[in-house]
């Protein structure tokens, strides 16, 4: 019996020694496999990033050529609408000249995309991880696609259409009066589609809350003061806010937007006077390209207040009539008029 107990003790001790030896080995193997997996992931991610960046650069060149040659449909409308308004409303000449830049490589939207691509390529922007860098490249690739960019120009076309007081038709959106009825949106004057769009102005902080300030070139839109907490719950439809914001906004611009929203929530949240501008998507889009519809599905910046909402009205389902022009990026044959 004593001999058997001694043998059992020796076997137990051997197992403890082997176990003590195997644990660090298993841990080392696990760590090695993790490092290898991370390296493979980074390598794969870097390859994907380079592929996306190549597509971005190719798209930007296609857009530049399209804007120079006038082959983007909505860019063509911008030039045609601008020419009509210069004749009928010469007092708006400085503003019209600035808006017409959107139909050229000098427009703020194109220049913003080009700048983001340059910073991404040169590594001048800091990213917390390679996945964030890849995400920025992916968003830029989508935003610089000709069909999506053409649709993004619809805000400027529609600003010009509104300035004509109904003489010129909107594109990719229902009429101004129909949009206000659909969304119960507040009247925000000419250029309302641009409010909140960092390419045309910025939110300035004041004791009564943040208010919209136009960049100098767009000051002819008026001096009415639009406060963020009023606009956020009553804004109307625009391509930028309801379709393309996540892709046509840089990370720094988005950070500033979040700061403004946080300020408004803290200042007005307890009084019930605050509502996120992105708690729902506004209705009013018509004839958007498949590329733009895909942007809505792949949003990178999801609002924490976002909720399901009814789909945007389309030309085939809405009882409201709007321009029947499609989102094709071919050159338009001309600008038609009519209220």
Nearest residue to 231 via CA among 199, 193, 259: 193
pLDDT beyond 80 at 331: no
Question: Where is pLDDT greater, at 298 or 221?
Answer: 221
Cβ-based burial of 123 (10 A; exposed 0-12, middle 13-18, buried ≥19): exposed
The pLDDT of residue 305 is 37
The pLDDT of residue 309 is 39
Cβ-based burial of 122 (10 A; exposed 0-12, middle 13-18, buried ≥19): exposed
* Mean per-residue pLDDT of the chain: 84
Q: What is the dihedral of CA 285, 286, 288, 292, to 10 degrees?
A: 20
The pLDDT of residue 188 is 83
Q: Give the pLDDT mean for 259-280.
A: 93
Least confident stretch, 25-34, 41-50, 72-81: 25-34
The pLDDT of residue 241 is 97
pLDDT beyond 50 at 324: no
Q: Give the pLDDT mean for 35-64.
A: 83
Least confident stretch, 9-23, 168-182, 206-220: 9-23
The pLDDT of residue 335 is 46
Which residues, 6 or more positions from 79, have their beta carbon under 8 angstroms from its beta carbon?
70, 100, 103
**Separation between Cα atoms, residue 127 and residue 136, nearest integer Å:** 10
Least confident stretch, 18-32, 155-169, 180-194: 18-32
Least confident stretch, 13-27, 107-121, 237-251, 258-272: 13-27
Tokens encoding 20: 């003590």
The pLDDT of residue 298 is 74
What are the phi and psi torsion angles at 318 (to 5°)? -80, 145
Return the axis-axis angle of helices 130-143 and 290-297, rounded to nearest 10°: 150
**Separation between Cα atoms, residue 232 and residue 246, nearest integer Å:** 17
pLDDT beyond 50 at 213: yes
Question: Where is pLDDT greater, at 43 or 319?
Answer: 43
Could you tell me the pLDDT band of residue 334, with boundaries at 50, 70 and 90? very low
For the range 78-83, what are the long-range contacts, defined as Cβ-Cβ under 8 Å and sequence gap of 24 or more? Answer: 78/102, 78/103, 78/153, 78/156, 78/157, 78/160, 79/103, 80/332, 80/334, 80/335, 81/157, 81/160, 81/161, 81/164, 81/168, 81/335, 82/160
Least confident stretch, 25-39, 88-102, 156-170, 319-333: 319-333
pLDDT beyond 80 at 39: no
**Separation between Cα atoms, residue 167 and residue 157, nearest integer Å:** 13
Could you tell me the pLDDT band of residue 202, with boundaries at 50, 70 and 90? very high
Least confident stretch, 34-43, 100-109, 257-266, 303-312: 303-312
Mind listing the pLDDT tens digit for each residue in 277-297? 999 889 999 999 999 999 988
Question: Cα 283 to the chain's mean position, in Å?
Answer: 17
Q: Residues of the chain with pLDDT > 90: what percent?
A: 70
Q: What angle do CA 254, 142, 39 make, to 5 degrees?
A: 85
Say if CB 232 and CB 275 are below 8 A apart: yes
Which residues, 6 or more positions from 244, have their beta carbon under 8 angstroms from its beta carbon?
143, 148, 151, 152, 292, 295
Mind listing the pLDDT tens digit for each residue in 100-154? 999 999 999 999 999 999 999 999 999 999 899 999 999 999 999 999 999 999 9
The pLDDT of residue 302 is 46
Tokens encoding 280: 């729902």
The pLDDT of residue 325 is 47
Other beta carbons within 10 Å of 141: 21
């Amino acid at each position: 019996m004593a001999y058997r107990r001694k043998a059992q003790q020796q076997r137990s001790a051997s197992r403890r020694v082997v176990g003590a030896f195997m644990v660090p080995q298993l841990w080392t193997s696990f760590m090695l496999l993790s490092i290898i997996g991370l390296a493979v992931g980074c390598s794969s991610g870097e390859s994907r990033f380079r592929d996306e960046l190549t597509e971005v650069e190719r798209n930007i060149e296609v857009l530049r050529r399209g804007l120079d040659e006038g082959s983007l449909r909505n860019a063509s409308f911008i030039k045609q609408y601008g020419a009509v308004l210069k004749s009928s409303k010469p007092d708006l000449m400085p503003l019209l000249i600035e808006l017409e830049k959107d139909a050229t490589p000098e427009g703020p939207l194109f220049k913003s995309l080009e700048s983001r691509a340059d910073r991404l390529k040169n590594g001048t922007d800091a990213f917390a991880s390679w996945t964030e860098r890849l995400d920025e490249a992916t968003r830029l690739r989508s935003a610089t696609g000709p069909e999506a960019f053409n649709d993004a120009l619809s805000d400027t076309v529609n600003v010009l259409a509104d300035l004509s007081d109904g003489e010129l038709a909107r594109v990719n959106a229902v009429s101004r009066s129909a949009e206000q009825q659909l969304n119960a949106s507040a009247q925000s004057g000419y250029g309302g589609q641009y409010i909140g769009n960092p390419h045309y102005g910025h939110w300035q902080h004041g004791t009564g809350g943040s208010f919209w300030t136009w960049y100098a070139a767009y000051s002819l839109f008026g001096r009415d003061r639009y406060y963020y907490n009023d606009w956020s719950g009553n804004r109307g439809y625009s391509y930028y806010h309801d379709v393309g914001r996540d892709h046509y906004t840089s990370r720094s611009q988005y950070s500033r937007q979040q700061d403004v929203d946080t300020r408004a929530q803290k200042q007005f949240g307890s009084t019930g006077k605050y509502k996120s501008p992105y708690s729902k998507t506004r209705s009013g889009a018509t004839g958007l390209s498949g590329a733009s519809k895909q942007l809505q599905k792949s949003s990178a910046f999801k609002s924490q207040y976002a909720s399901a909402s009814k789909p945007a009205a389309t030309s085939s389902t809405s009882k409201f009539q709007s321009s029947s022009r499609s989102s094709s990026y071919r050159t338009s044959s001309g600008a038609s008029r009519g209220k």
